[in-house]
């Protein structure tokens, strides 16, 4: 069971398999770089599937495209405006992800497509007629590529879709574990249940005394970088902080697999339009 937003559509109306990417829907699917076995990638580095797909499709076009500065700007010639980086185009900052959060381009090579049987790009020209070229035949002079595709592939900018999932985290019924949150949490939809369990462990072990005394300083947010810390390696810990429990996360009274994402839990286990509710309980260490 894996839940991923529908970020493309497919058909065979042209007599071959066609994949359609439309903005902004195509930018709704993310994945952790470590799930692609990217060497050296940080644990919380997220990549956008459409972004990397467009980078791969336009890699030959990008390499052959005339760069800014290769043309004369004398006499105020404005005809080369088409060669100017799209970074200069106005975009609402709240609607565009400039790729600076994760710097995925600095870590990941673009997705690779076959050069023996390369896919073709089909799009509309400015005059309204369609054109088709294999990605290996793109020479960098094509001016009719959609601007949002170019801006994404060249500058790493694309519409920022809502990829968060809101949920509540409470102790399981009958569990003596204390309540460690007081409101709704928010995390990436691709966040694994294992991360939620690690978050609970961190709160129970490193911040919550065993006598259950209240602590109003708990962080209310949950970020993708949260992980269980090795309490034995931290200096100055109290004795109760060196006890590291094992935690299970439940939804609808069902113990969740650590590999499940929040999106998968919501789709296949929760099955309700309301905010997701997760429960936790401490189990005997194995």
Cis preceding-peptide flag for 24 (omega within 30 of 0)? yes
Closest to 282 measured CA to CA, from 180, 171, 194, 207: 171
Average pLDDT over residues 139-153: 91
Quick check: 258 pLDDT over 70?
yes
Q: Looking at residue 236, what is its pLDDT?
A: 52
Instruction: Look at phi and psi of residue 212 and say left if phi exceeds 0, alpha if psi is from -120 to 50, else beta.
Output: left
Question: What percent of the chain has a predicted confidence (pLDDT) above 70?
Answer: 71
User: Half-sphere exposure (CA, 13 Å, Cβ side) for 33?
Assistant: 21
Greater confidence, 107 or 91? 107
Closest to 123 measured CA to CA, from 98, 86, 149, 97: 149
Contacts of 4 (CB under 8 A, 6+ apart): 29, 263
Average pLDDT across the chain, whole number: 76
Q: d(Cα 285, Cα 205) in Å, to the nearest integer?
A: 14
Quick check: 67 pLDDT over 80?
no
Greater confidence, 232 or 277? 277
The DSSP annotation for 65-101 comes to SPPTTSS--GGG--GGGGGS-GGGS---GGGEE-STT
Model confidence band, residue 68 (pLDDT cutoffs 50, 70, 90): low
Which CA distances in Å does 124 have to 132, 144, 146? 9, 7, 8
Closest to 185 measured CA to CA, from 213, 220, 153: 220
Q: Looking at residue 218, what is its pLDDT?
A: 30
Quick check: 226 pLDDT over 50?
no
Q: What is the pTM assigned to this prediction?
A: 0.70
Q: d(Cα 115, Cα 113) in Å, to the nearest integer?
A: 6
Average pLDDT over residues 105-115: 77
**Residue 16 per-residue DSSP state:** S
Lowest average pLDDT, out of 44-48, 56-60, 244-248, 254-258, goes to 244-248
The DSSP annotation for 224-276 comes to TT-----GGGSTT--GGGG---EEEEEETTEEPPTT-BHHHIIIIII-SSSPE
Lowest average pLDDT, out of 41-45, 157-161, 234-238, goes to 234-238
Average pLDDT over residues 112-131: 88
Average pLDDT over residues 189-213: 76
Average pLDDT over residues 102-106: 49
Domains of the chain, start order = 1-65+107-161 (no CATH), 162-207+244-285 (3.10.20.90)
What is the number of helices (H) and of strands (E) in the chain? 5, 13
Quick check: 217 pLDDT over 70?
no
């Amino acid at each position: 069971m894996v839940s991923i937003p529908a970020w493309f559509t497919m058909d065979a109306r042209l007599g071959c398999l066609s994949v359609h990417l439309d903005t902004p829907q195509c930018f709704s699917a993310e994945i952790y770089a470590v799930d692609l076995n990217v060497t050296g990638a940080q644990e919380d580095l997220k990549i956008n599937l459409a972004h990397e797909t467009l980078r791969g499709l336009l890699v030959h076009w990008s390499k052959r495209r005339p760069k800014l500065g290769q043309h004369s700007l004398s006499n105020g010639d404005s005809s080369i405006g088409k060669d100017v980086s799209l970074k200069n185009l106005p975009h609402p900052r709240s609607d565009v992800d400039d790729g600076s959060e994760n710097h995925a381009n600095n870590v990941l090579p673009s997705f690779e497509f076959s050069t023996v049987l390369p896919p073709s790009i089909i799009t509309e020209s400015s005059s309204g007629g369609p054109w088709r070229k294999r990605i290996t035949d793109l020479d960098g002079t094509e001016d009719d590529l959609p601007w949002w595709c170019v801006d994404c592939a060249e500058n790493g900018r694309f519409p920022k879709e809502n990829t968060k999932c809101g949920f509540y985290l409470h102790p399981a019924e009958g569990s003596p574990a204390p309540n460690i949150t007081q409101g709704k949490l928010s995390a990436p939809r691709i966040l694994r249940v294992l991360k939620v369990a690690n978050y609970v462990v961190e709160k129970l072990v490193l911040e919550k005394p065993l006598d259950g005394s209240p602590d109003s300083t708990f962080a209310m947010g949950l970020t993708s970088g949260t992980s269980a810390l090795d309490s034995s390696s931290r200096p100055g810990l109290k004795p109760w902080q060196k006890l590291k429990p094992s935690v299970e996360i439940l939804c609808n009274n069902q113990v969740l697999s650590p590999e499940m994402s929040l999106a998968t839990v919501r789709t296949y286990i929760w099955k309700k339009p309301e905010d997701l509710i997760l429960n936790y309980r401490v189990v005997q260490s194995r």
